[in-house]
């Protein structure tokens, strides 16, 4: 009798779900803290794979089968050392980066904020917490089970995968906390092994300032796939002062190109660079826009179809706060002799990605405040490359500003961007997959079963 009652109740629940079935714009709402990093999604053989930071700062993975119009997951892919100490502050430095290798296996690197002394000696920087961890799916194109692979240093943070046209996979990361070199490693065998670390941006003791005697040079770079097997890098300088609270002063915009076919780095004028790049050398060889006393946050860099680079970053005043005042989106293009551009007319809260189509065409996909809602929309350039008109709104949802990742690698038209929107009064966010037709929806009943409601 008890079994009959249980079965009856189960059918009643399922019937209730089917009656209430409706689609929601998000695919999960267990995204935790600041849950997405730059390269966290890839389209591969009909499926879009996405990684994000979920419960207790652990990595979660979800997939969308475009032909079947079916969501798979989310599944927990590993366990981070961050988010487990009971601290009320969410670390957010160990957000997962994802890549699909040439055999269809899915790789995620996550969990690092410089590591700790207990993990060994960090010869390229200092420590903070967590551990850089590499996991791979047990089967190709299957996100349901994962295995940890011990082939990377534990001292990474801001880990970012880049996959080139020839199949080589590059992993960029900062080798420790603020006062650490930026390095890269290469895998030519689908992430089974990686080459030795190469330091390309040097962190070192800097000259004392009026308010601090203990100052270090530090960096915040952004990486993009350039022409062919080139990697293009924009970066800004962080004046790392030993002060409490820690001030996030960053200045200037630098640019260089990594010709991976010849294993050489060049500045915008084609002069070969010596590694690692120091602050003095960067100012001499790779400084493109000197922002003076303005504070900046890194944006993205892109090439148009003619191979001409665009630099974007966010610039504002030092208003005495930890990260400076509100920052406006800046856009510059290289004419062959100099950089031209400046502030755009996009909303001051706009943050997102650039798509440079031609010398006279630029598009920004940005998230920003729109009254009481957050909105994600395409803005296209007009005659002036720093003036834009809103063209297509992909989503408008009541609530806060949307945060965007990088464009999904090899993106399907229906799934180009991952975006998150904070749930008011919580540490959680809803997470969305956006394409040309707007958000890829998911049945609310599925979300309820998966505890996503």
Catalytic residues: 93, 158
Residues 6 or more apart from 409 whose CB is under 8 A from it? 39, 41, 42, 43, 99, 163
CB 230, CB 257: distance < 8 Å: yes
Number of Cβ within a 10 Å radius of residue 426: 9
CB 48, CB 63: distance < 8 Å: yes
Helix (H, G, I), strand (E, B) or coil at 217: strand
Residues 6 or more apart from 320 whose CB is under 8 A from it? none
**Spatial separation of the C-alpha atoms in residues 191 and 159, rounded to whole Å:** 14
> Which position has the token pair 């040439």?
102
Cα angle at 224 between 198 and 359, to 5 degrees? 140
Range 254-271 burial, b when 16+ CB lie within 10 A, else e: bbbbbbbeeeebbbbeee
Helix, strand, coil content of the chain in percent (nearest 5): 10, 50, 40
The 3-state secondary structure of 3-50 reads: HHHHHHHHHHHHHHHHHHCCEECCCEEEEECCCCCCCCEEEECCEEEE
- How many residues belong to the chain? 453
How remote is the C-alpha of 294 from its chain's centroid? 24
β-partners of residue 352 are 366
């Amino acid at each position: 009798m008890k079994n009959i009652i249980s079965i009856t109740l189960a059918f009643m629940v399922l019937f209730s779900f089917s009656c209430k079935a409706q689609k929601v714009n998000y695919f999960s709402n267990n995204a935790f803290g600041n849950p997405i990093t730059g390269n966290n999604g890839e389209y591969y053989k009909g499926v879009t794979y996405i990684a994000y930071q979920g419960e207790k700062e652990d990595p979660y993975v979800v997939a969308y089968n475009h032909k079947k119009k079916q969501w798979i997951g989310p599944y927990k892919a590993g366990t981070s050392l961050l988010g487990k100490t009971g601290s009320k502050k969410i670390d957010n430095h160990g957000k997962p980066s994802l890549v699909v290798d040439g055999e269809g296996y899915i790789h995620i690197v996550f969990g690092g904020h410089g590591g700790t002394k207990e993990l060994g000696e960090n010869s390229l920087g200092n420590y903070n917490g967590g551990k850089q961890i590499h996991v791979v799916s047990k089967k190709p194109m299957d996100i349901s089970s994962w295995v940890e692979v011990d082939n990377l240093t534990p001292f990474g943070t801001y880990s970012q995968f880049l996959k080139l046209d020839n199949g080589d996979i590059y992993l960029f990361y900062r080798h420790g906390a603020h006062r650490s070199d930026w390095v890269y490693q290469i895998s030519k065998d689908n992430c089974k092994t990686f080459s030795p670390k190469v330091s390309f941006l040097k962190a070192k003791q800097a000259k004392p300032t009026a308010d601090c005697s203990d100052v270090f040079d530090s960096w915040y770079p952004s990486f993009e796939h350039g022409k062919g097997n080139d990697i293009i890098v924009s970066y800004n300088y962080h004046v790392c002062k030993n002060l409490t609270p820690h001030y996030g002063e960053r200045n200037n915009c630098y640019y260089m190109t990594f010709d991976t076919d010849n294993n050489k780095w060049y500045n915008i004028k084609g002069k070969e660079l010596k590694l690692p790049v120091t602050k003095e050398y960067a100012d001499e060889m790779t400084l493109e826009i000197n922002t003076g006393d303005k504070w900046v946050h890194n944006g993205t860099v892109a090439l148009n179809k003619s191979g001409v680079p665009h630099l974007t970053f966010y610039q504002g005043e030092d208003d005495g706060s930890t990260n400076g005042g509100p920052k406006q989106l800046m856009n510059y293009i290289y004419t062959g002799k100099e950089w031209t551009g400046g502030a755009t007319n996009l909303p001051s809260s706009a943050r997102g990605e650039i798509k440079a189509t031609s010398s006279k065409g630029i598009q920004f996909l940005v998230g920003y405040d729109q009254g009481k809602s957050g909105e994600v929309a395409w803005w296209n350039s007009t005659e002036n490359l720093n003036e834009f008109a809103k063209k297509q709104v992909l989503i408008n949802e009541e609530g806060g500003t949307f945060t965007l990742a990088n464009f999904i690698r090899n993106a399907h038209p229906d799934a180009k961007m991952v975006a998150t929107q904070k749930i008011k009064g919580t540490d959680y966010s809803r997470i969305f997959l956006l394409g040309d037709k707007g958000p890829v929806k998911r049945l609310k009943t599925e979300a309820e079963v998966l505890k996503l409601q």
